[in-house]
Every structure is written in structure tokens, then in C-alpha cells.
């Protein structure tokens, strides 16, 4: 929670228009796992998982409001339709208009209605890549709790592209935390798809003080760039 407040402060200091997307962390993944949302979706799992992630969203929204942002939560369950765990339909014009109007949307990974599976989990990583394709954004950053994507010696891989992915793929794995959306591997695969459509992104450590500020200010940071370059 302290981290969220710090990050909200750093976003304010950078003073740039922003769309915030966050994952569920310990708010949502344990519930999605407990209720077997992916294998055996039911209403109790939907309600409990959604509620957990809403709590986290409220913390983020309030932290940004305290920093002076007109922040408001956007909840995928209410507006996004998936098919087989992939975003199928989502009218993002509302988000564009909010940003133009000076509002800061704070969107999150969520359990959503799914035309094939009943319900499914859509990760913050999927939300990020979907929006990156639809909105006109200058930079895309994925803040996580490690120094980007690490190699077998724990060193940050500076750049991952479709052509070097095979070389590094073996040591990009899931998460050691409760995570139902693929951990670092899920993140990199999502961002590689985005890179293939020509949109670069950066994975950096948002757990370290000042990193979000530096990223938003265009400063050089230790991070992994996900690029479509051959
Ligand atoms: N090669 C790797 N480099 C960095 N993290 C990795 C790697 N392989 C697996 N991981 C795991 O993935 C985690 C990051 O994914 P995740 O927990 O889903 O983060 P987030 O909550 O930011 O989505 C790391 O904390 C680490 O446990
Ligand atoms: Mg994750």
C-alpha cells in the first residue's frame, strides 16, 4: 500500500497525462485460484475475485486523487467482453474522452464475461496491450517488482525481440507469487505480440523508488525493452 502511495506521488511529480493499468497481485490471484475460475467458473468466484481487485483499485484511485488527479476506476467486468480468455470487444472511446477531459482512468486486470467460457480472467498485461493498440500513447511501461526480465545469471536483459526471444525463452518463467496469468512469461508474450504490431514497451522495476518518475520523464533506467526490431 505504501508503494501505491509512492507511485501515485511519482506519477504526480512526472506530471504527464496517463492511463494507469494495474494487476491484481494478492488482491484477486488467490481468489481466482481458490475458485478455479479458469477451469470451473462459477458466480461465487466471479463475485469474490472481482471484489478483491476492486478493493485494490480503490486504493490506487484514492492515492491518485490525494495527489490531485481526477482519477476514476474503470472495471473491465462492466464493459469488456472476452472470448476464450482474450479481449473480444471493448469500447475504448470512453477512455479516450476521459483523458481528453482531464480524467485519469485507473483500469485493472479483472474477471470478465467470456462468450465461450462463461467467465475468464483478463490480466493487467492483456489490458495494457489492448489499450496500447487502441489509444494514441507515447510510451508504454510495465512496472513490476524485479529489474525487468532477468537472464540465467540474474542480469537484466536489455532488449527482447521476436528474433532473440528463443535464446532467452528458457529462463522466462511464471511467477513465484500467486499469479494466474503467467507471471513474467505471460507479460513478455503479451508485450512481444504488441511489439510485432510495431509498438515498443519497457519492463522496469516499480518497486524501487523514483523508477516510475524516471520512466515517465524519459530518463535512462535499467530495464528490458520489448521491441519488434529484427
Ligand atoms: N526471467 C525472469 N525475469 C524476471 N522475473 C521472472 C523471470 N522468470 C520468472 N520471473 C518471475 O515473474 C515475476 C514477475 O511476474 P508477476 O509476478 O506476474 O509480476 P506482476 O505482478 O508485475 O505482473 C517475478 O517476480 C519472478 O518471480
Ligand atoms: Mg503478473
> 111-130: per-residue pLDDT in tens?
999 999 999 999 999 999 99
Q: What is the arithmetic mean of pLDDT over 136-147? A: 96
pLDDT given at position 219: 97
The reply to whether 24 sits in an annotated binding site is: yes
Q: What is the mean pLDDT of the chain?
A: 95
Evaluate: CB of 176 within 6 angstroms of ligand 1.
Answer: yes
Q: Is the CB of 150 under 6 A from ligand 1?
A: yes
Cβ–ligand 1 distance for 143 under 6 Å, the answer: no
**Beta-sheet strands, E only, within 64-170:** 70-74, 80-83, 86-90, 103-108, 110-114, 118-122, 141-144, 159-160
**pLDDT at residue 75 greater than cutoff 70:** yes
Q: Is the shortest distance between the CB of 184 and ligand 1 below 6 Å? A: yes
- Cα(33)–Cα(86) distance, rounded to whole angstroms? 19
pLDDT of residue 180: 82
pLDDT reported for residue 133: 96
Task: Locate the ligand 1 atom nearest the alpha carbon of residue 151 and give its number.
Answer: 1
Q: Is 173 in the pocket of ligand 1 (CB under 6 A)?
A: yes
Reply yes or no on whether the pLDDT at 207 is more than 80: yes
For residue 178, pLDDT beyond 80: no
Domains identified in the chain and CATH numbers? 2-226 (3.40.1160.10)
What SS3 class is residue 207? coil
Return the pLDDT at 177: 72
Q: The sheet that has 201-205: what strands, in order across it? A: 141-144, 201-205, 223-226, 159-160
* Residue 156: strand pairing partners: 150
118 labeled binding residue: no
Closest-CA residue, ligand 1 atom 11, reads 175
Distance from the alpha carbon of residue 183 to the mean position of ligand 2, in angstroms? 4
Do the Cβ atoms of 11 and 73 come closer than 8 Å?
A: no
Give, using CA atoms, the residue closest to atom 6 of ligand 1.
184
Split at pLDDT 50, 70, 90, the class of 230 is low
Residue ranges in the chain assigned as alpha helix (H): 2-14, 29-34, 43-66, 76-79, 93-101, 124-134, 165-169, 183-196, 211-216
What is the rounded average pLDDT of the residues 135-160? 96
**CA of residue 184 to ligand 1 center, whole Å:** 4
What is the per-residue pLDDT across 41-61, written as a single tens digit (0 to 9) for each?
899 999 999 999 999 999 999
Average pLDDT for 177-190 = 90
Over residues 67-94, mean pLDDT: 97
The three three-digit cell numbers of residue 108, written as one number = 485493472
What value does the mean pLDDT take over residues 193-214?
97
- Find where cell 483478463 sits: 122
Closest ligand 1 atom to residue 124 Cα is 23
Residue-level pLDDT at 115: 97
Ligand-binding site membership of 228 (annotated): no
pLDDT of residue 1: 83
Q: How many CA atoms lie within 13 A of 51 on its CB side?
A: 7
Alpha-carbon gap, residue 157 to 111, rounded angstroms: 32
Amino acid at each position: 500500500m505504501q508503494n501505491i502511495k509512492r507511485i501515485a506521488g511519482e506519477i504526480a511529480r512526472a506530471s504527464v497525462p496517463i492511463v494507469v493499468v494495474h494487476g491484481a497481485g494478492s488482491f484477486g490471484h488467490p481468489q481466482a485460484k481458490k475458485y478455479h475460475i479458469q477451469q470451473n467458473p462459477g458466480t461465487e468466484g466471479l463475485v469474490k475475485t472481482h471484489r478483491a481487485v476492486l478493493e485494490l483499485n480503490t486504493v490506487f484511485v484514492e492515492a491518485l486523487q490525494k495527489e490531485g488527479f481526477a482519477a476514476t476506476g474503470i472495471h473491465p467486468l462492466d464493459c469488456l467482453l472476452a472470448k476464450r480468455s482474450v479481449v473480444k470487444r471493448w469500447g475504448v472511446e470512453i477512455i479516450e474522452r476521459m483523458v481528453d477531459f482531464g480524467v485519469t482512468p485507473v483500469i485493472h486486470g479483472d474477471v470478465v464475461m467470456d462468450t465461450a467460457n462463461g467467465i475468464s480472467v483478463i490480466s493487467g498485461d492483456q489490458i495494457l496491450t489492448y489499450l496500447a493498440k487502441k489509444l494514441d500513447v507515447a510510451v508504454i511501461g510495465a512496472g513490476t517488482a524485479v529489474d525487468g526480465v532477468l537472464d540465467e545469471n540474474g542480469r537484466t536483459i536489455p532488449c527482447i525481440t521476436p528474433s532473440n526471444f528463443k535464446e532467452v525463452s528458457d529462463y522466462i518463467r511464471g511467477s513465484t507469487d500467486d499469479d494466474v496469468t503467467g507471471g513474467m512469461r505471460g507479460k513478455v508474450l503479451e508485450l512481444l505480440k504488441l511489439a510485432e504490431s510495431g509498438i515498443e514497451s519497457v519492463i522496469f522495476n516499480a518497486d524501487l523508488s523514483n523508477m516510475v518518475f524516471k520512466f515517465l520523464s524519459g530518463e535512462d533506467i535499467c530495464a528490458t525493452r520489448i521491441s519488434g526490431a529484427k
